[in-house]
Amino acid sequence: MTHDIEPTTPVDPRFAALPQRPGKVLAVHLSYASRADQRGRRPSAPSYFLKPSSSLAASGDEIERPAGTELLAFEAEVALVIGSDARHVGAADAWAHVGWVTASNDFGLYDLRANDRGSNVRSKGRDGYTPVGPGLIDARQIDPARLRVRAWVNGELAQDDTTADLIFPFAQIVADLSQHMTLERGDVILTGTPAGSSVVVPGDVVEVEVDAPGTAGAPTSGRLRTTVVQGAQGFDPELGSLPAVDDLQRAEAWGSREAAGLAVEAAPGLDPALREKLHRAPVAGLSQQLRKRGLDNVTIDGVRPLHPGVKLVGTARTLRFVPNREDLFDSHGGGYNAQKRAFDAVGEGEVIVIEARGESGSGTLGDILAIRAHARGAAGIVTDGGVRDVEAVTAVGIPVYTAGAHPAVLGRRHVPWDVDVTVACGGTTVQPGDILVGDADGVIVIPPTLAAEVADAALEQEIEDGWIADQVAHGHPVDGLFPLSGEWKDRYRAWRATI
């Protein structure tokens, strides 16, 4: 299969680096582990958005930051250019349909994100917001897992990562997209950005390069150069929503609260060191340690994660529903009710815990509220009731634990009653400020005063269990090993002292 560039050089200079004007430009929301760690969320599957081909620009072009905005951010990315049509191709065959790779810069205006809801139509679809080029690398010459992408701002290195850090390999992305649409020759796929993306201002010069270190001939895209200029045109309030920013958008645009000049805040009730330990400690191990301390009724039963591979760690922000009664729903169900207040008030690092009495016969939240919690920086949502719009809620990416999916609205079974009170969720009492940890095994509630102690003990138990598992794998019987006793305990202690 060949991908030679046909003599169809476009007249429009915006497409000079490409074999033709692309029919579509697709982009991956989050694909590098470094970026996922920076954002504090790692998706279990790739998700995408579309950019118009009119947003393409050439190396050397200028990009405008519109009047009345402040958060124009660059994102250095590897761009894949489709060389031959692909429809329902498998991951093993997908790379053969990529003709070339090149550098791209997925600029975005965070001031316009509030009403885009993940579509990025306004924030990333503007004219000139997708520079590509300047040169193409033949995809047949390189290993897609050994590419490097770098960005410089005013000559200073800002991003530097390799495709070895990808959560989703390029072949998976191409194959996945081909399940949903025909990828046609010339289509461009922007494959996500690593950590280091930040805000640029008028006068800044951003350069992006994709290359293949260690590959024969050292293929490179060359430096893609874009200069930021101040635009004179603003937005007409009669036509649509206006730019709006808050501290969350500033932190995400700049890359961190510190880079944005904001006060660095630990998640409520958790210092960074404790949060990191709880992220590493399995829920099963934490449960074991709490039981040793006399706490056996601390698991939220009957709930399962929408994102089994994503860890949940945060402090509780509670919401209580009572059984539906028509007159009470009339007085408490409409307007700015307790449910809406809870999702508007949840803070960064907090988990909304919903008491629904184990009644899953209607939804306790849907996609709009999940988006609101995500925008507020919430660590997750736990409900012993149902979730409606479950596919859309899952796509938002925030960790959610639920008793199941149900299409009905709130008023079928519940009345939103109060917030920030002690609740019962999944048969467990949860107080505001309690620490919740969730993984594929379920969710556990930890009293804040015990959190550091049980986290350390659970991590130590993980080391011991790993040593025991290694002995069993080498053929030793479990008697005396599990749990450790006698000679085996002495052997373990001697081994532990060496590490």
Please check whether residues 222 and 294 belong to one and the same domain.
no
- 165 in the same domain as 60: yes
487 and 412: one domain? no
Determine the Cα–Cα distance for residues 191 and 207; give it in Å rounded to an integer.
Answer: 17
pLDDT at residue number 227: 95
Whole-number pLDDT of residue 426: 95
Does 238 share its domain with 138?
A: yes
Say yes or no: 423 and 408 in one domain: yes
- Say which DSSP state 472 is in: H
Structure tokens at 323: 């059984």
Q: Is residue 68 part of a domain?
A: yes
Q: How many domains does the chain have?
A: 3
Residues 94 and 196 in one domain: yes
Give, to the nearest 10 degrees, the angle between helix 338-345 and helix 367-375: 30
346 shares a domain with 202: no
| Domain housing 179 | 13-254
Closest to 39 measured CA to CA, from 251, 276, 306, 353:
251
pLDDT for 266 equals 46
For residue 42, being part of any structural domain is answered with: yes
CB 273 within 8 A of CB 341: no
Residue 480 makes CB contacts below 8 A (sequence gap 6+) with 486, 487, 488
pTM: 0.56
DSSP H or E run through 437: strand 435-439
Distances (CA, A) of 245 to 68, 71, 122, 199, 203: 11, 8, 14, 13, 22
DSSP state, 22?
A: -
Last residue of a domain, one of 448, 471, 486: 448
Same domain, 109 and 27: yes
Do 467 and 325 lie in a common domain? no
344 phi, psi to nearest 5 deg: -75, -25
Is the Cβ–Cβ distance between 159 and 151 less than 8 Å? Answer: yes
Answer whether residue 2 is part of any domain.
no
Q: In the structure encoding, which two tokens stand for residue 468, read together? A: 């025991």
The 3-state secondary structure of 93-146, one letter per residue: HHHHHEEEEEEEECCEEHHHCCCCCCCCHHHHCCCCCEEECCCCEEHHHCCHHH
Most distant CA pair in the chain: distance in Å?
Answer: 81
Structure token pair of residue 124: 């990333």
- Return per-residue pLDDT of the chain as tens, 499 residues: 445 555 454 468 889 889 999 999 999 998 998 888 777 667 778 999 999 999 999 999 999 999 999 999 999 999 999 999 999 999 999 999 999 999 999 999 998 887 776 788 989 999 999 999 999 999 999 999 999 999 999 999 999 999 988 989 999 999 999 999 999 999 999 999 999 999 999 999 999 999 999 888 889 999 999 999 998 888 888 888 788 888 878 888 888 878 888 875 544 558 889 999 999 999 999 999 999 999 999 999 999 999 998 999 999 999 999 999 988 888 888 888 889 989 988 999 999 999 999 999 999 999 999 999 999 999 999 999 999 999 999 999 999 999 999 999 888 899 999 998 999 999 999 999 999 999 999 999 999 999 999 999 999 888 888 788 888 888 888 888 777 787 887 788 878 788 7
Residue 214: its pLDDT value, please? 85
Q: What is the CATH number of the domain that holds 181?
A: 3.90.850.10
DSSP class per residue in 180-191:
HSPBPTT-EEE-
Residue 259 in any domain: the answer is no
DSSP character string of 329-380: HHHHTSSS-HHHHHHHHPPTTEEEEEE-TT--SSBS--HHHHHHHHHTT--E
**Whether 387 and 439 share a structural domain:** yes
Query: 3 in a domain, yes or no?
Result: no
Whether residue 4 lies inside any domain: the answer is: no
| Secondary structure percentages of the chain, helix, strand, coil, to 5 | 30, 25, 45
One domain, residues 72 and 130? yes
- Asked whether residue 266 is assigned to any structural domain, the reply reads no
Q: Phi and psi (nearest 5°) for 161?
A: -155, 170
Q: What is the CATH number of the domain that holds 316?
A: 3.50.30.40
Tell whether 444 and 458 lie within a shared domain: no
Establish if 196 belongs to a structural domain: yes
β-bridge pairing 188-190 and 48-51? unpaired
